[in-house]
Chain A
Amino acid sequence: MSAPRLSAVRMTGADAILRSLEAEGVDVVFGIPGGAILPLYDAMAKGTTVRHVLARHEQGAGHMAEGYARASGRVGVAVATSGPGATNLVTPIADAWMDSTPLVCITGQVRSNLIGTDAFQECDITGITIPIVKHSWLVQDVAELPAVLKAAFHVARTGRCGPVLVDVPRDVQEAELDFSYPDEVSLPGWKPPRRGHPRQIAAAAQAVAAAERPILYVGGGVLNADATAELRELAETARIPVVTTLMAKSAFPESHELHVGWPGMHGPKWSNWALNKADVIVAAGARFDDRVTGKLAAFAPGATVVHLDVDAAEISKIRHAEVPVVGPLKPVLARLARELAERCEPERTAEWLAQISEWRERFPLRYGNGGELLKPQRVLEVLRDLTSGRDDVVWTTGVGQHQMWAMQYLGCDRPRTFITSGGLGTMGYGIPAAVGAKAARPEATVVCVDGDGCFQMTCQELATAVLEELPIVVVIVNNGYLGMVRQWQDMFFEERFSHIHLSHAVPDYAALARAYGALGFMVDSDDQLEETLAEALASGQTAVVDCRVDPREHCFPMIPAGQAAVDAVEYDPGHDAEALAL
């Protein structure tokens, strides 16, 4: 047996997990205890610098860890017990996988001698999660714990960020080891790129310098890479307009003249036109998702693609890249900006920028303001106006119409201030993500724009927000329906509405909020809207504002699934008048 290192301290596996988290600088974890993770919770009770936020459902804990990660840029940590505790983490893990959110999940497992016997609360969580983690470990030897945790954090945050899982049997938590946290990680098979190839970056610069109608198509990778300053430098140096995907909202200041909106299914027409009529697309940390491209064959048919990404597998996965650059985006964007500073004429894009401005004028976002019912878009406009100029507001959303309106109407100028579930489209993401974001940024006002459907999937975490003193404001865009499904049934299923009605009033959201110890408000007309939202935002407490809005309102424009940007369906005032007459 090799002698323990001089600094090694004898302790249990559970203590070693906590000391490892402390060594990683983790300040907060989100979780729920249970049988197989009891030793770790006992270790917490004995003392640690790590704060534990007690969620009400492990899915909530997972999304909190995601919200924390997205708001802070650090790795989020979720803790759960074996079996159902672990399976409840599956949705957040899949969400983090799709959106490349760095996440370390620590799960308890039944005792080693019981594994494989269908013991109480046993499930093969490492097996279940194989397709949705970057890597996972079932720790079988307590001596391996420090190295495994070191590796887990390293893998989660290096290369393309994402989730990892560490499954620790109860007896491994109880066994003793000589603990010392390793300085180095030993992973011979994990070699994310460290820099972009200078020749490829030069080729990218050449393509951009020669372009008349270049555009930066920015994805969430830029936020993950902490490369927003480099992005701005590049855009300003070469005078390139920027579209940011849903995941990249806040990666580029939205009040900046070069920001030209958000591409994709519910992006404004001018944003999609700019992307589709470009001659050179510089994709940075974006993955040509089907919600962005629509019909692939018709997507930006004339464009040369320069694709910058830390993940080589994204390059030419969907759309062939004429100029591939694999590497971490921070140095790649910085170098590209430097090369362009020397060789491009910024004025060359003046005409192109003027063209986009003209489209912007011609195709503004529109919605009808007839009728007596409060319009959902109005809720977002008021929220935008109430927070305008503030740099301490962090938004989260659920998934659906309200999310798309939030993308369209809210303005984000600072990085990591718009936190949403993009790839997986996880309804119920908003409230727990907001709690996590608040833990990361206690000084910020964290606002969850939620739908009534989403709210009911995770509203139990209001208890967490209240009792853990992580106050959030939840604004429910309550149309009484699963609104996006309603829109699809209306537009593509001949108005056969099928199992989408939730009702405006059950539950009574304001009363439910008060039951949780939060403030509860209800608004159903424009004249109370601003005042009520302002009160909730200024309250400093967890508050729920139930905004009862017009259920007939559709989210426009909309590029129907599988169709091209030119097929976008727009708001039709005539249709609106017809509906009102009924």
Chain B
Amino acid sequence: MRHTISVLLENRPGALTRVTSMFARRGFNIESLAVGPTERHDVSRITLRVDAEKHSLEQIEKQMHKLVNVLRVAELAPGESIERELALLKVAAPPSARAELMALGEVFNARVADLGPDSIVFELTGSPEDVDSFEELVRPHGLQELVRTGRIGLGRAARGGTRPRSQILV
């Protein structure tokens, strides 16, 4: 089962390496990873997507807690969090196909970031599932290049923050 984990860590040299190294060493597979600054200049946030059973997920969280630079680890539970992803898609667009592609883009609120004689670069922000759908729809037209940021997320506003998983053990 797939889980999204949000990690706050001190913004120190090598801190990200310590997290990813732990995943590699313990045999946990990362599907996507996004890292960036937070409201505090000395703290970064990593949003990780992992495919793990419950037992492994607990292990991942506990092992991450032991890293000295890691400040907080929380699972972003579906339905209780907002998850977004940014994608740039370069799609083959001869003049004959352009109108249809533009219409598809509009449905998904994808912006045209660049337009060339034979291709369009779409910029799409949405839920990772929206990005998946758009990707599938434009693929038959000739998806030339694609880049996705990996998902980022926050707990819903009503919850006032990312919900820390209950610490039954401590």
A120 within 8 A of B: no
B14 within 8 A of A: yes
C-alpha gap A189/B63 in the complex (Å): 13
B18 within 8 A of A: yes
B68 within 8 A of A: yes
B41 within 8 A of A: no
B55 & A189 in contact (Cβ 8 Å cutoff): no
Task: Return chain A residues, CB-CB under 8 Å to B66.
Answer: 134, 159-160, 311, 313
A580 within 8 A of B: no
C-alpha gap A135/B71 in the complex (Å): 14
Residue ID in chain B nearest A317 by CB atoms: B59
A189 & B68 in contact (Cβ 8 Å cutoff): yes
Residue ID in chain A nearest B21 by CB atoms: A130
Q: A189-B69, A189-B70, A311-B66 are in contact. Are A130 and B18 (CB under 8 A)?
A: yes
C-alpha gap A189/B15 in the complex (Å): 12
Within 8 A of B (CB), among A258-272: none
A189 & B170 in contact (Cβ 8 Å cutoff): no
A189 & B169 in contact (Cβ 8 Å cutoff): no
A126 & B170 in contact (Cβ 8 Å cutoff): no
Task: Return chain A residues, CB-CB under 8 Å to B169.
Answer: 312, 315, 324, 326
Q: A189-B9, A324-B169, A326-B170 are in contact. Are A130 and B17 (CB under 8 A)?
A: yes
Task: Return chain B residues, CB-CB under 8 Å to A324.
Answer: 168-169
C-alpha gap A134/B18 in the complex (Å): 10
B70 & A131 in contact (Cβ 8 Å cutoff): no
Task: Return chain B residues, CB-CB under 8 Å to A190.
Answer: 68
B71 & A188 in contact (Cβ 8 Å cutoff): yes
**Interface membership of chain A positions 127-151, coded 1 if the CB is closer than 8 angstroms to chain B and 0 otherwise:** 1001100111010100000000000
B63 & A313 in contact (Cβ 8 Å cutoff): yes
Within 8 A of A (CB), among B1-29: 9-10, 13-14, 17-18, 21-22, 25
B25 & A131 in contact (Cβ 8 Å cutoff): yes
* A315 vs chain B, min Cβ distance (A): 6
C-alpha gap A130/B13 in the complex (Å): 13
Residue ID in chain B nearest A307 by CB atoms: B169
Task: Return chain B residues, CB-CB under 8 Å to A311.
Answer: 66
A134 & B170 in contact (Cβ 8 Å cutoff): no
Within 8 A of A (CB), among B152-170: 168-170
B67 & A127 in contact (Cβ 8 Å cutoff): no
B111 within 8 A of A: no
B139 within 8 A of A: no
C-alpha gap A127/B18 in the complex (Å): 9
Residue ID in chain A nearest B168 by CB atoms: A324
* A322 vs chain B, min Cβ distance (A): 13
**Interface membership of chain B positions 45-74, coded 1 if the CB is closer than 8 angstroms to chain A and 0 otherwise:** 000000000010011001101111111000
Chain A residues touching B, range: 20 to 34
A155 within 8 A of B: yes
A197 within 8 A of B: yes
Task: Return chain A residues, CB-CB under 8 Å to B10.
Answer: 188-189
A582 within 8 A of B: no
Q: A135-B68, A189-B9, A312-B65 are in contact. Are A126 and B14 (CB under 8 A)?
A: yes
Task: Return chain A residues, CB-CB under 8 Å to B68.
Answer: 134-135, 155, 187, 189-190
Within 8 A of B (CB), among A305-334: 311-313, 315-317, 324, 326
A127 & B17 in contact (Cβ 8 Å cutoff): yes
Residue ID in chain B nearest A130 by CB atoms: B21
Task: Return chain B residues, CB-CB under 8 Å to A140.
Answer: 13
Task: Return chain B residues, CB-CB under 8 Å to A189.
Answer: 9-10, 67-71
* A230 vs chain B, min Cβ distance (A): 21
A131 & B21 in contact (Cβ 8 Å cutoff): yes
**Interface membership of chain A positions 110-131, coded 1 if the CB is closer than 8 angstroms to chain B and 0 otherwise:** 0000000000000000110011
Task: Return chain A residues, CB-CB under 8 Å to B22.
Answer: 131
A193 within 8 A of B: yes
C-alpha gap A143/B128 in the complex (Å): 45
C-alpha gap A366/B14 in the complex (Å): 53
Residue ID in chain A nearest B66 by CB atoms: A313
Task: Return chain B residues, CB-CB under 8 Å to A155.
Answer: 68
Task: Return chain A residues, CB-CB under 8 Å to B69.
Answer: 135, 189
Residue ID in chain B nearest A313 by CB atoms: B62
C-alpha gap A484/B67 in the complex (Å): 36
Q: Which of B14, B55, B70 makes the CB contact (< 8 A) with A316?
A: B55
**Interface membership of chain A positions 94-117, coded 1 if the CB is closer than 8 angstroms to chain B and 0 otherwise:** 000000000000000000000000
* A163 vs chain B, min Cβ distance (A): 13
B71 & A316 in contact (Cβ 8 Å cutoff): no
Task: Return chain B residues, CB-CB under 8 Å to A188.
Answer: 10, 71
Within 8 A of A (CB), among B127-170: 168-170
B18 & A312 in contact (Cβ 8 Å cutoff): no
* A340 vs chain B, min Cβ distance (A): 22
Task: Return chain B residues, CB-CB under 8 Å to A138.
Answer: 13-14
Most chain A CB within 10 A, of B21, B25, B62, is at B62
Residue ID in chain A nearest B20 by CB atoms: A130
Within 8 A of A (CB), among B73-93: none
C-alpha gap A530/B166 in the complex (Å): 61
* B55 vs chain A, min Cβ distance (A): 7
* B62 vs chain A, min Cβ distance (A): 4
Most chain B CB within 10 A, of A187, A311, A312, A324, is at A312
* A128 vs chain B, min Cβ distance (A): 11
Within 8 A of B (CB), among A180-208: 187-190, 193, 197
* B20 vs chain A, min Cβ distance (A): 10
Known: A131-B21, A313-B59, A317-B59. 8 other contacts (CB 8 A): A130-B14, A135-B67, A135-B68, A138-B14, A312-B65, A313-B66, A324-B168, A326-B169
Pull 13 A–B residue pairs with CB atoms less than 8 Å apart, ordered by A. A126-B14, A127-B14, A130-B14, A135-B67, A187-B68, A189-B10, A189-B67, A189-B68, A189-B70, A189-B71, A312-B169, A313-B59, A315-B169
Which 5 pairs from chain A and chain B are nearest by CB? A313-B62, A135-B68, A131-B25, A130-B21, A326-B169
